[in-house]
Amino acid sequence: MLSPAFLSQLRKLLPDHCVLHAREDLVPFESDGLSAYRNTPDVVALPENESQVAAILRLCHANQVAVVARGAGTGLAAGALPVDGAVLLVLSKLNQIRHIDPLARTATVQPGVRNLAISEAAAVHGLYYAPDPSSQIACSIGGNVAENSGGVHCLKYGLTVHNILKLRAWTIDGQLLEIGNDTLDSPGYDLLALMTGSEGMLAVITEVTVKLLPRPQRAQVVLAAFDDVAKAGAAVGNIIAAGVIPAGLEMMDRLAIQAAEAFVHAGYPLDCEALLLCEVDGVNEEVSDDIFTVHEVLAASGAIEIHTAESEEQRLRFWAGRKAAFPAVGRLAPDYYCMDGTIPRAQLPHVLRRISEMSLEFGLAVANVFHAGDGNLHPLILFDANQPGELHQAEAFGSKILELCVEAGGTITGEHGVGLEKINQMCAQFATPELTRFHEVKAAFDPDKLLNPGKAVPELHRCAEWGAMHIHGGQLPHPELPRF
Amino acid sequence: MLDTFIDRIRAAHAEGSPLILQGGGSKTFYGNADEGEVLSTRALTGIVDYQPKELVLTARAGTPLAEIEAALAERNQMLAFEPPHFGGAATLGGSIATGLSGPRRPYAGAARDFVLGVRMIDGTGQPLRFGGQVIKNVAGYDVSRLMAGALGTLGLITEVSLKVLPKPAAETTLQFELDETAAIENMNRWAGQPLPLSATSWHAGLLTVRLSGAESAVHAAQARLGGEWLHDAAAFWQRLRDQATPFFDKRPLWRLAVKPTTPPLNLGSAEWIEWGGAVRWLASDLPAATLRDAAKTAGGHAALFRGTAPVDGAFAPLAPALLTLHRNLKQRFDPKGILNRGRLHPEF
């Protein structure tokens, strides 16, 4: 609980309408995009300018009150879940596009600006911002930096970390950090990389300068159906080995295909085990050459059907099915739980086989949607939260999937972040020395652990407790840790 | 093998005696002078894993770049950041530790952009592993990218996993006689259009532009841009990458990184412009403060690249808040300050 004295000081820093403390005003902020995790915040602060952000941080630091930063609240890992006794610092009112420089190809924006709004504002110059998380219509750039968001196009155009130049950020004691600059590198350590994906644990971002790219002249998509997921997986590697880096390369399994087709009638073949969507973009001539190559490779890889979109309308329809895959799967069951592991692509057949075996063990169906180009797998576990124990089963199943990804040489999160959701799986991914260094990186910025406490990096005792429950192959993880 | 390095660093940590981390020694000129005994990674060689279909290569730090590039070329792939070799002995570890990239950098990305994971030994002798061998990974802080450009001051890199890319099917280089102002404008204007640019350079009235991609795309761009076709272009870009032309022999050689649209700096000495206007090489005797102010005003920073560093160091001084973070990070990864002492910053 925050003290009345603290709250009254907080209210002095902001106009009345920028501090929410009535129960009914706080409810909308009790979860982010992962609604299975909820906690009503003690107070919500909605600053309208940078100096208010700095003042709030200084006040919290002086009173040793924790701060959880939040953007649009579309995150899928409970990274913006309110923490008891903390201020929820919502940056959505900082929503101005400060400046677009078409010749230098940059946009300088406040953190609450929506991802898609940047591309919309840059369109008049023939430019766009490349990272396109599926929530791009709603998610904000500050959150994108905090999570190092990816998207369908990141195999070719990179993640957030590859597409930003400069940040203004504030430490918990209210000092301004100007990280990066208007050129392509900076003296000293790469703090821009360290800040990107740091989940609000190091500093609070108040301005981002992003790179803009020229809009490709043309984009073209090929759809291919396979009677075997292993063949579809191999086709992905074959396309890349042929020297083509597709702008997007997506795979769906049978259940996902059928759900998507029933929902949006994208024109997908239904009698197949896997579907690939391969989009190439670029200069007109290059797209024609690449489409030819992709078509040949898909045929040689055993595709049972191949369709090149013959019009822009058909291209968008092919994509509509993929983009609607999550809500489409959502029609199959009252609830679904989206996982986010990354694996080396060669491991795909093995991983999918294990997931389907586990699906039987847990008694919960799974649809698989896969950013195949970069190995980022999104299994969607279907369940019914109203059935006692099913949410717990779904979470247990999800944990097993993430541990499977680590065993296969991959990672527990490709683009959604750790947040609170995957904090236990961090113990599977990293050993004690690495986790210790993560805590030390945090301490270099925020020694009092006031920014987003309890998220992203587990305390070592937590790994000890978790490890006691997960003895794998007779080996106790983190054997050096004391156990109580 | 790794144990030898761990033991050596543990001993140095215990004694507080500084070490100079070195690969092929091709970039010893870069950064401030450091002190201590040389710890060479030259014995730590070999490609550990290369999966062309995954676009991922993992190699030990002392592996020569030439060996890696030859293995990639066999599968028609490349290191897209085009790392400089500076005389031939460059290693993978040194390339990542310095974070230096070549002419393709503004169009394909920097060394740090391609780092997927590292194995390292910190300044206490603790072996650590960050990142991995997959392209998307947001678990934990991005310590592997932090190692890129840290000049070995946070740890000895022992192994690196990188994203690699297919070689473009076709490349051609065009030259245009243009003054500096027009060249800078064209570099920026063209970069904002869907053209397959992969390198740009301007020096002594000549703008040189490389196009890379599908053959048809390169031809179409060539037809659109005009210019003179440059014979022996591969050698031109390699000499620029490795600074193997007489221009780069002058001392002191300054690197001014600026906002790419910055008009001519007019600092009174010959210039070589790269990276779409974002880097201006200058052989200049002007005071460090003058050059740094000019670069800072232009949105960037100036570094003494070759020659004797000014007393406050080769690199632009850090703002106080950033310097505090640097000190804190250095203290956590190398508490006794034994790794490449002073190389990145005179203080540590």
Coil, helix or strand at residue A9? helix
A385-436 pLDDT, tens digit each: 999 999 999 999 999 999 999 999 999 999 999 999 999 999 999 999 999 9
Tell me if A154 and B136 make a contact (CB, 8 A cut-off): yes
pLDDT confidence bin for A327, thresholds 50/70/90 = confident
> Which of residues 278 through 297 in chain A touch B, CB cutoff 8 A?
282-286, 288-290
A58 touches chain B (CB under 8 A): no
What gap in Å lies between CA A332 and CA A307, rounded to an integer? 27
CATH number of residue A354's parent domain: 3.30.70.2740
Q: Are both A202 and A114 inside the same structural domain? A: yes
Phi-psi region of A126 (alpha: psi -120 to 50; beta: other; left: phi over 0): left
Going by C-alpha positions, the residue among A116, A184, A196 that lies closest to residue A148 is A196
A253, A367 Cβ separation under 8 angstroms: yes
DSSP A344-381: -GGGHHHHHHHHHHHHHHHT--EEEEEEGGGTEEEEEE
A144 touches chain B (CB under 8 A): no
* Predicted pLDDT of residue A474: 45
* Predicted pLDDT of residue B34: 87
Q: Which chain B residues are closer than 8 Å to A457 by Cβ?
A: 140-141
* Predicted pLDDT of residue B87: 86
* Predicted pLDDT of residue B315: 98
What gap in Å lies between CA B54 and CA A297, rounded to an integer? 16
Residue A468 has pLDDT above 90, yes or no: no
pLDDT confidence bin for A475, thresholds 50/70/90 = low
A160-192 pLDDT, tens digit each: 999 999 999 999 999 999 999 999 999 999 999
B112, B100 Cβ separation under 8 angstroms: no
CATH number of residue A53's parent domain: 3.30.43.10
Residue A249 has pLDDT above 60, yes or no: yes
Domain covering B2-166+328-333: architecture: 2-Layer Sandwich (3.30)
Q: What is chain A's mean pLDDT, rounded? A: 94
Q: Are both A224 and A191 inside the same structural domain? A: no
**Domain of residue A185, residue span:** 97-214
Last residue of some domain: A291, A310, A326? A326
A53-64 pLDDT, tens digit each: 999 999 999 999
Q: Are both A178 and A200 inside the same structural domain? A: yes
A413 lies in a domain? Answer: no
Residue A472 has pLDDT above 60, yes or no: no
Q: Which chain A residues are closer than 8 Å to B334 by Cβ?
A: none
A398 lies in a domain? Answer: yes
Structure tokens at B19: 């070490």
Residue A458 has pLDDT above 50, yes or no: yes
B292-310 pLDDT, tens digit each: 999 999 999 999 999 999 9
pLDDT confidence bin for A484, thresholds 50/70/90 = very low
B108, B165 Cβ separation under 8 angstroms: yes
Residue A196 has pLDDT above 80, yes or no: yes
* Predicted pLDDT of residue A464: 86
Q: Are both A102 and A210 inside the same structural domain? A: yes
A194 touches chain B (CB under 8 A): yes
Q: Which of B54, B99, B128 sits opposite A433 (nearest CB)?
A: B128
A263 lies in a domain? Answer: yes
Q: Which chain B residues are closer than 8 Å to A196 by Cβ?
A: 142
Residue A69 has pLDDT above 70, yes or no: yes
A361 lies in a domain? Answer: yes
A346, A408 Cβ separation under 8 angstroms: no
CATH number of residue A131's parent domain: 3.30.465.10
Residue A150 has pLDDT above 70, yes or no: yes
pTM value is 0.96
Q: What stretches of A148-187 show up as alpha helix (H) in DSSP?
A: 154-157
**Number of residues that make up chain B:** 348
Q: Which chain B residues are closer than 8 Å to A282 by Cβ?
A: 194, 196, 213-214, 217
A383 lies in a domain? Answer: yes
Last residue of some domain: A326, A349, A382? A326
Q: Are both A169 and A247 inside the same structural domain? A: no
A48 lies in a domain? Answer: yes
* Predicted pLDDT of residue B12: 98
Q: Which of B126, B141, B150 sits opposite A441 (nearest CB)?
A: B141
Residue of B nearest to A127 (CA): B192
A358-397 pLDDT, tens digit each: 999 999 999 999 999 989 999 999 999 999 999 999 999 9
Q: Are both A297 and A375 inside the same structural domain? A: no
Q: Are both A455 and A349 inside the same structural domain? A: no
Residue of B nearest to A176 (CA): B321
Last residue of some domain: A356, A377, A407? A407
Sheet of A43-45: strands edge to edge? A19-20, A43-45, A86-90, A66-70
What gap in Å lies between CA B186 and CA A104, rounded to an integer? 11
ipTM of the modeled complex: 0.97
B174-232 pLDDT, tens digit each: 999 999 999 999 999 999 999 999 999 999 999 999 999 999 999 999 999 999 999 99
What gap in Å lies between CA A406 and CA A330, rounded to an integer? 27
Q: How much is the CA Rg of chain A, to the nearest whole Å?
A: 23
B304, B319 Cβ separation under 8 angstroms: no
Calculate mean pLDDT across residues B276-291.
97
Tell me if A283 and B51 make a contact (CB, 8 A cut-off): no
Range with lowest mean pLDDT among B18-22, B267-271, B274-278, B339-343: B267-271
Q: Are both A354 and A453 inside the same structural domain? A: no
* Predicted pLDDT of residue A151: 85
CA dist list (Å): A96 to A49, A74, A109, A362, A448: 10, 19, 6, 47, 32
Residue A112 has pLDDT above 90, yes or no: yes
A270-323 pLDDT, tens digit each: 999 999 999 999 989 899 999 999 999 999 999 999 999 999 999 999 999 998
Calculate mean pLDDT across residues A65-78.
96
| A36–chain B nearest CA distance, Å | 21
Residue A483 has pLDDT above 80, yes or no: no
pLDDT confidence bin for A125, thresholds 50/70/90 = very high
| B312–chain A nearest CA distance, Å | 13
Q: Which of B128, B166, B259 sits opposite A183 (nearest CB)?
A: B259
Q: Are both A258 and A272 inside the same structural domain? A: yes
Q: Would you list the domain boundaries of chain B?
A: 2-166+328-333, 169-307
What gap in Å lies between CA B303 and CA A75, rounded to an integer? 40
Structural domains counted in chain A:
5
Amino acid at B145: R
* Predicted pLDDT of residue A442: 98
Structure tokens at A141: 């750039």
Amino acid at B312: D
Tell me if B142 and A197 make a contact (CB, 8 A cut-off): yes
> Which of residues 424 through 443 in chain A touch B, CB cutoff 8 A?
426, 429-431, 433-434, 437-438, 440-443
Calculate mean pLDDT across residues A228-246.
94
